[in-house]
Amino acid sequence: MDTPQTTRELVHESVRRFGDGIAFRTIHQEGVSFAAMGCAVAGIRRRLALLGVEPGDRVLLLSESQPAWPAAYLGITSFGARVVPVLTEFIPEDVISILDHSEASVCILSRKHRERLGTLMDGKQATVVILEDLFAEALAAGANDGEDQLPALTKDDVAAIIYTSGTTGHSKGVVLTHGNILSNVFASDTFAGVQPGEEMLSLLPLAHTYECTLGMLLPFAMGATVNYLDRTVSPSVLLKALELVKPHLVLAVPLLIEKTVRAKVMPKLNKPPVKYLRRIPGLGGVIYRAAGKKLVAAFGGRLRFFGIGGAPLAADVEDVLFRSGFPYAIGYGLTETAPLLAGTSPGANTRRSTGTVVPGVEVRIRDGEIQARGPNIMQGYYRNEEQTSEVFTDDGWFRTGDLGEFDAENRLYVKGRIKTVIIGSSGENIYPEAIEAVINQFTGVVESLVLEKGGRLVARVLLDYEQLAAQYREYADNAGQYLEKVRRQVNEKMSTFSRLTELVEQSEPFEKTPTMKIKRFRYY
């Protein structure tokens, strides 16, 4: 058949093509085959029908990552209902707010999150179903439900309403159709080239469209196996998982690879005599490539695609990855674009660029803003016509709110958010992300946030006290002196209108979104 345009068609094709192959697995546990997933999806559809769910109804889904999550997602959407996947990072009150706003008739919750919601669910009309029980019952039932008995389903039917984490305010329900999501699944594979039988390690929340589309649906469509962690991510848990899975593919936010490179690679590259040897023509390339091979080995040895998205990658880290031949690939997109708008493949990166536009999608720059249209663009924000109208131009293009430009090779460069641009005293545009990228290159800095305060540029800086103690002992007990040193050196690289007046020590980690972007609105 042709390329699947609905999740119902996707399940049918993946079961037919990959049957006994493992689709999903929680590490240290037995995997679930594509055939078994087909049975589980059918069983979940039957259960939804018994609960009185009808096509178009909303079903909330809240759980940590596990094979039951994709089974529920595919069961809900292939039935013709609309899944409302909720990020596990949301506080219980936010979950209830989403439940109320979406008017979900059924809540599928993991045991952990049912307990976390506690009495907040009291008095709610939605029927609560425990995900682990639902999945086990559906797997045990085994028999298919007969797709010919299901209501008609097309690419234009709504599949999901995704409530965004957002960095500038309250969440919004992004409405995506089957066509929006699946067009992006298959277009994105032009960059990843996922092969049957490959192993992927999942590190990000499944309710985020980045992980859902590219880290769940894409490998399911191509016959790869997705592995989930059995506990919260930590350095020791990740190390053991990498040793066990030896993944071919990983999707991550920049913070993971930035921490790894700055802790494991850069200190060795900057240590005498390596620091001097890598300046010798011809020898520098050999040293960097050796570092790249060691980094791949640290990720299990088989890694061929390390996707990075959700936030900008630090320039100094990308330089190391680029020179070392590490198989990284940059992607850019939004929840509203299902998500990918532009991307790269390993070995085809241009530093600082997010790559070329996804096939079938159009992107233009208007007044500096990146605007897009295509089959992956959302239908709008659920029950919010005013905000929907604000993000579409009169001629139907989606306004991303991001600033960007193309080079002569049609590669896209993202410059920052329109809402974060600071206007200087003489009308200059100051991009805080560009200044932050320079600050974050200092060894003693974890991350930073540049703000305008009373006409002055100020940066809040979270310090790495272990690095200060190890490498800058003279500053270990005087963070203010180190910050002043950083300020002077940063300003030497800045235009006069982008120079910092003050660096302030950030005593606690910044509040983050699930893709590890700082919630800027919290600090204005």
pLDDT tens, residue by residue, 216-246: 999 999 999 999 999 988 888 999 999 999 9
Select the more confidently predicted residue: 424 or 286.
Answer: 286
Mean pLDDT of 382-408: 96
Q: What is the CATH number of the domain that holds 67?
A: 3.40.50.980
Instruction: Give bridge partners of residue 308 from the DSSP assignment.
Output: 252, 330
Same domain, 441 and 511: yes
Per-residue pLDDT at 20: 96
Mean pLDDT of 111-140: 96
Identify the weakest region by mean pLDDT among 63-72, 137-146, 183-192, 222-231.
Answer: 137-146
> Does a structural domain hold residue 215?
yes
Rounded to an integer, what distance in angstroms lies between the CA atom of residue 47 and that of residue 361?
A: 37
Determine the Cα angle at 211 with ends 194 and 164, to 5°.
150
Burial string for 113-136 (b: 16+ CB within 10 Å, else e) reads: bbeebeeebeeeebeebbbeebbe
Identify the weakest region by mean pLDDT among 264-278, 413-427, 429-443, 502-516.
Answer: 413-427
Same domain, 207 and 109: yes
Q: Which of 390, 403, 501 lies closest to 453 in space, CA to CA? A: 501
Per-residue pLDDT at 169: 45
Same domain, 262 and 206: no
Same domain, 187 and 86: yes
Residues 6+ apart with CB under 8 A from 477: none
Q: Say if pTM beats, i.e. exceeds, 0.85.
A: yes
Mean pLDDT of 67-94: 95
Same domain, 354 and 495: no
Mean pLDDT of 109-119: 97
Same domain, 59 and 166: yes
Secondary element (H or E) of residue 252: strand 249-252
Instruction: Give bridge partners of residue 461 from the DSSP assignment.
Output: 448, 505
Confidence bin at 332 (pLDDT 50/70/90): very high
Same domain, 221 and 280: no
Strand 340-343 relative to strand 305-308, pairing: unpaired
pLDDT tens, residue by residue, 263-315: 899 999 999 999 999 989 889 999 999 999 999 999 999 999 999 998 889 88
Span between the terminal Cα atoms of the chain, in Å: 53
Per-residue pLDDT at 469: 80
Confidence bin at 330 (pLDDT 50/70/90): very high
Residue 168 has pLDDT above 70, yes or no: no
Residue 511 contacts residue 518 (beta carbons within 8 Å): yes
Q: Label residue 347 exposed, middle or buried (CB < 10 Å: 0-12, 13-18, 19+).
A: exposed
Residue 24 contacts residue 67 (beta carbons within 8 Å): yes
Same domain, 26 and 146: yes
Give the three-state DSSP class for 160: strand
Residue 247 contacts residue 227 (beta carbons within 8 Å): yes
CA dihedral for 299, 301, 307, 311, sign (positive or negative): positive
> Does a structural domain hold residue 120?
yes
> Does a structural domain hold residue 117?
yes
Identify the weakest region by mean pLDDT among 235-244, 319-328, 468-477.
Answer: 468-477
- Percent above pLDDT 90 for the chain: 78
- Total domains present in the chain: 3
Residue 322 has pLDDT above 90, yes or no: yes
Per-residue pLDDT at 428: 77
Secondary element (H or E) of residue 356: strand 356-357
Q: Report the chain's mean pLDDT, rounded to a whole number.
A: 93
**Cβ-defined contacts of 391-394 (< 8 Å, 24+):** 391/336, 393/366
Write the DSSP assignment of 439-476 as a string of letters: HTTSTTEEEEEEEEETTEEEEEEEE-HHHHHHH-GGGT
Per residue, the 3-state secondary structure of 268-331, as one string, reads HHCCCCHHHHCCCCCHHHHHHHHHHHHHHHHCCCCCCEEEECCCCCCHHHHHHHHHHCCCEEEE
Same domain, 199 and 268: no
Structural domain span for residue 146: 7-228
User: How many C-beta neighbours within 10 Å does residue 491 have?
Assistant: 17
Same domain, 427 and 498: yes
Per-residue tokens: 237 = 């848990």
Same domain, 413 and 428: no
Residue 166 has pLDDT above 60, yes or no: no
Same domain, 413 and 426: no
